[in-house]
Amino acid sequence: MPRQARLDMPGTLHHVIIRGIEKKPIVDDVKDKKEFVFRMGDLSTEEKTTIYAWTLMTNHAHILLRSGPYGLSKFMRRFLTAYAIYYNHRHKRHGHLFQNRYKSIICEEDAYFQELVRYIHLNPIRANMVPNMPKLDGYPWCGHAVIMGRRKHNWQDRGYVLRWFGKKEKEAKNNYRRYVQEGISLGGRPELVGGGLIRSFGGWSNVISMRRHGDRDLSDERILGNGDFVEQMIKEADDRVKRQLPENNQQKMIVKIIQEICDKREVNIR
């Protein structure tokens, strides 16, 4: 089954998941972790990409971000390439470090922003890398400590996150921490990794049934949100592609010009 094109529009909220190739580690020690975080933060500033939540695990990472004016792809390409070059050079290895295609899910902000911040920041506890909330509060490889004010990364927008939980910082931090802690009992939350419309329709069986009856299919595993949001995002992406493509007359003119140049130079393009 061919993979779908990535939905990539400036100013869009994305949950990005990066995995090591064949589930292998992407960091081996503290030096690697520091380099990964530095590259992520430094390039997010250069590309005007806003990061709200993140966590670095052994063989994968999660980032909740808003894409900059050039979209998501440029930032991710620069970030992953720079880190992979560093890692391969340091560890004297060759070949791919990451899976060929990172996963990016466009997210409906009002419905899922808080849920995703919590989901991402609880990864170290769910994986037993951190035993409890007090340890998570100061854990250096997760954006939770930044929001709690225990660590500082100027490129992470903690203020925007806290405004979802209260008007005053102390109140907001307490509400945020309580909200994160309540999420521990909710488990792995597989429903937060895309395909919002599939869940809205009650699963793939219902989607397939709707297709057979001629109903429009609004499910898309690249998007986390309700039906209207998914439809809107797909439409915006389609419109953006159409704007970037020349009109039919322009296409014909371009082909004609290319053919004339090739004829003059006696180049056969068939």
Q: Residue 204's CB: how many other CB atoms inside 10 A?
A: 12
Amino acid present at 261 = I
How much of the chain is in helix, strand and coil states, percent to nearest 5? 50, 15, 35
Tell me the three state secondary structure of residue 17: strand
Burial class (CB in 10 A: 0-12, 13-18, 19+), 4: exposed
pLDDT digits (tens), the chain, 270 positions = 445 445 677 899 999 999 999 999 999 999 999 999 999 999 999 999 999 999 999 999 999 999 999 989 999 999 999 999 999 999 999 999 998 778 888 888 888 899 999 999 999 999 999 999 999 999 999 999 999 999 999 999 999 999 999 999 999 999 999 999 999 988 666 656 654 443 444 443 444 444 445 444 443 445 665 555 555 555 555 555 454 445 556 556 656 665 666 566 555 544
Q: Strand 103-107 to strand 13-19: parallel, antiparallel, or no bridges (unpaired)?
A: antiparallel
- Alpha carbon distance 76, 237 (integer Å): 19
Q: Which residues contact 91 (CB under 8 A, 6 or more apart)?
A: 28
Q: Residue 122's CB: how many other CB atoms inside 10 A?
A: 24
Phi, psi of 165 (to 5 degrees): -115, -5
DSSP summary character for residue 120: H
- Using the CB atoms, write b or e for 219-236: b if 16+ within 10 Å: bbebbbbbeebbbebbee
* Torsion 235-239-242-248 (CA) sign: positive
- Alpha carbon distance 11, 225 (integer Å): 16
Specify the pTM: 0.74
- Alpha carbon distance 32, 86 (integer Å): 9
Q: Work out the end-to-end distance of the chain between its first and last CA atoms, rounded to an integer number of angstroms.
A: 30
What domains are defined for the chain?
A: 13-192 (3.30.70.1290), 196-261 (no CATH)
